[in-house]
Amino acid sequence: LWLSINAGRVSSVRFQAKGCVAAIAAGSALTELAQGKSLEEAASLRAAQITAALGGLPPESGHAAVLAEDALKQALREAARLG
**Rounded to an integer, what distance in angstroms lies between the CA atom of residue 11 and that of residue 71?**
17
> Three-state SS for 56?
coil
Give me the chain's average pLDDT, please.
95
pTM: 0.92
Q: Which residues, in sequence order, are bridge partners of residue 10?
A: 5
Confidence of residue 67 (pLDDT cuts 50, 70, 90): very high
**pLDDT higher than 80, residue 83:** no
**pLDDT higher than 90, residue 71:** yes
For residue 66, give every residue at least 6 positions away whose Cβ sits within 8 Å of its Cβ, in sequence order, or none: 47
Helix ranges (H only) for 1-83 are 21-34, 39-43, 47-53, 63-82
Q: How confident is the model at residue 82, as a pLDDT? A: 85
Do residues 27 and 17 make contact, with C-beta atoms less than 8 angstroms apart? yes
